[in-house]
Structure 1
Amino acid sequence: MSSGSPTALKRWIAFELRAMREEAGRSRPQAAERLGRAVTQIGHLETGRNLPSLPDVEVLLAWYGRPERVEVFRDLIRRARKGRDWWIGFTDAMPEWFGLYLGLEASAVEAASYDAVHVPGLLQTAPYAEAIIRAGERALSEAEIARRTELRMARHALYERQQDPLRVWAVLDEAALRRQVGGPAVLRDQLHLLAELANRPNIDLQLLPASSGAHAGVEGTFTLLTFPPELEGDHGVAYVETRVRGIYYEDPAEILLYRQALTRLQVQALDPEESRDAINRIAQEMT
């Protein structure tokens, strides 16, 4: 697995416990009675608030007719308890709700996105990130801006790591690449970084030209996270971020809608090689 993020593991364990209970035709009250627990405790297990004990997992999986999965659950529960999310030292530099996304991103094998307004945070330079953060929340102190920028830069390690680097596939709207965030010089350096990143085997960047007209991304930016096969039954997540919170779409039918939209955008966009050339041309225009 790409990462032993406790946040991601807790989410998957909760997701699977609920799915297996429903497939077995059992209710939460029945599961609570089986374990001798309160119904609210079963709810906490199925929402990821709490991790189940190993004995409780053995009882539930046998009762759900899936005893063969006990060993997998034992391993993941142990890892969730012993693991440490890489971003724990940055809790002062982000809203509380963003922690779940960072945990999921760290455990994903691929992050695919359409970016309508600006370069995605995962691929930003420090000056570009600072300009975005500064413009977004004017009440932040200089120290807070610096910490948030540092957090954003730390995310680069996901696609730079030697073992199982994150695969990134981003469709970037031309308007996002021409918006002079931080001024021409900052944007030029940001575009140079994108051109360099496009040479990495695990990163594909596509530019969606303004001449494309109306397209499947008119509703705005979104990200699709895909998880490793180890997390059996996990269809991934479609993520949309607002000023107030992150929104996670986990229903397979909803995820499919976002995947279909992204596929259409990838078809409309320039191919990766053409996109790299276009990014370099835009950079040359910045004076």
Structure 2
Amino acid sequence: MTTRQSPTVRRRRLGAELRKRRENAGITLEFVADRMECSQSKISRIETGHSSVTSRDVRDMLTIYGTPAEEVDVLVEIAKEARQKGWWHPYSSVLVGAYVGLEAAASSIRAYEQQVVPGLLQTAEYAEAMIRGAQPDWTDEDVMNRVRVRMARQSLLTRQDDAIRFQVVLDESVLSRPVGGDKVMRDQLRLLAEAASWQNVTISVLPFESGSHAGMDGTFAILEFAEQDDSNVVYAENATGGLFLEKNDELQKYARIFENVQRAALSPEESAELIAQLAEEPLWKSRPRGFESI
């Protein structure tokens, strides 16, 4: 497998390496900040991967930690890679958080979706309708830039040599809400039915009759990385953009939740059959109260 590069992941790895060396040297954040003549929060953000760092700062920090010269050179090179701009950088004004950068380097993703089709499987028309509904104050330019990013992300599933492995459990409500109207949603369902046949994609539907289940607390994605030095991460989505979780107990908790919702869902074969059926006989067409006019 070809390992995809991402400055977001490089920044995260660099921060982890810097933190490990500081702790091994028995040095506090306060001491480093004092020597570097900066705030403790700056050092903390560098170590958590939330801020980029210059090659000079990396050298200075590693000198404080007594790091051997050959290791310094390796980490400085990672710092240079971490400061490069990802393909999504021109659209940073409409992106929240670091998810796209992490996704770009992931080798596999396991996700549970409650309300919407995941971005990696959306049609452009569905994406536009969804974004306009969620962000009514955005300009047309902002909306279309977000759609462009979403369409570009989908190459992760279709690349010939290093496509990611994508497993997703969709609550049946995702298939039942006509986002964008009848035609847009039918086209979206047809794309899902097609994607279900791709070797690297597994789609499972969690039916209404399953009742209460392990994923009722919300949507999430588990991102896994091929390189051993890059730890897995959970992205738990919320209205402000989402929360990244990296601790082992958090990763294990969400892995169990995914296994449980996948177990409660229809099989991939049954799910593909249901999706294809709903594309022809959608639930919103069978409801009363004027839904036939959609």
Q: 1:112, CA displacement in angstroms? A: 1.1
For 2:139 and 2:28, the matched residues in 1 are separated by: 49
Partner of 1:55: 59
Partner of 1:178: 176
Q: 1:258, CA displacement in angstroms? A: 1.0
| Superposition pairs of residues 65-214 of structure 1, within 5 angstroms | 72-81=74-83, 83-92=84-93, 94-95=94-95, 97-98=96-97, 100-214=98-212
For 1:90 and 1:70, the matched residues in 2 are separated by: 33
For 1:271 and 1:61, the matched residues in 2 are separated by: 53
Q: 1:25, CA displacement in angstroms? A: 3.9
Q: 1:44, CA displacement in angstroms? A: 4.7
Partner of 1:26: 27
Do 2:167 and 2:202's aligned partners in 1 also have CA atoms closer than 8 Å?
A: yes
Over 3 Å counting, the alpha-carbon distance change for 1:39 and 1:124 in structure 2 is: same
For 1:206 and 1:72, the matched residues in 2 are separated by: 43
Partner of 1:37: 36
Over 3 Å counting, the alpha-carbon distance change for 1:90 and 1:257 in structure 2 is: same
Do 2:27 and 2:65's aligned partners in 1 also have CA atoms closer than 8 Å?
A: no
Q: Deviations over 1:50-97 (max 9, x none)?
A: 32536346536655xx8885565344233224x3301012224x14x3
| Superposition pairs of residues 231-250 of structure 1, within 5 angstroms | 232=229, 234-250=230-246
**Aligned pairs, how many?**
277
Do 2:218 and 2:237's aligned partners in 1 also have CA atoms closer than 8 Å?
A: no
Alignment gaps of 5+ in structure 2: 286-294
Over 3 Å counting, the alpha-carbon distance change for 1:52 and 1:139 in structure 2 is: closer
Over 3 Å counting, the alpha-carbon distance change for 1:61 and 1:273 in structure 2 is: farther
| Superposition pairs of residues 210-225 of structure 1, within 5 angstroms | 210-225=208-223
User: What TM-score, normalized to structure 2?
Assistant: 0.84
Q: Deviations over 1:178-209 (max 9, x none)?
A: 11111222111111111111121111111111
Do 2:52 and 2:82's aligned partners in 1 also have CA atoms closer than 8 Å?
A: no
4+ aligned runs moved over 6 Å, structure 1 = none
For 1:156 and 1:284, the matched residues in 2 are separated by: 25
Over 3 Å counting, the alpha-carbon distance change for 1:69 and 1:211 in structure 2 is: farther
Alignment gaps of 5+ in structure 1: none
| SS of residue paired to 2:151 | helix
Q: 1:259, CA displacement in angstroms? A: 1.1
Residue 261 in structure 1 maps to residue 257 in structure 2:
yes
| SS of residue paired to 1:248 | strand
Partner of 1:273: 269
Over 3 Å counting, the alpha-carbon distance change for 1:134 and 1:85 in structure 2 is: same
1:186 is aligned with what amino acid? V
Q: Which moved more, 1:157-166 or 1:100-109?
A: 157-166
Q: Deviations over 1:88-141 (max 9, x none)?
A: 12224x14x33x111111111112110011111121001111111111122223
Do 1:29 and 1:39's aligned partners in 2 also have CA atoms closer than 8 Å?
A: no
| SS of residue paired to 1:86 | coil
For 2:72 and 2:169, the matched residues in 1 are separated by: 40
2:211 is aligned with what amino acid? G
Do 1:58 and 1:67's aligned partners in 2 also have CA atoms closer than 8 Å?
A: no
Q: Deviations over 1:192-243 (max 9, x none)?
A: 111111121111111111111110011121111112224x1x4311112222
For 1:69 and 1:227, the matched residues in 2 are separated by: 23
| SS of residue paired to 2:146 | helix
1:50 is aligned with what amino acid? S
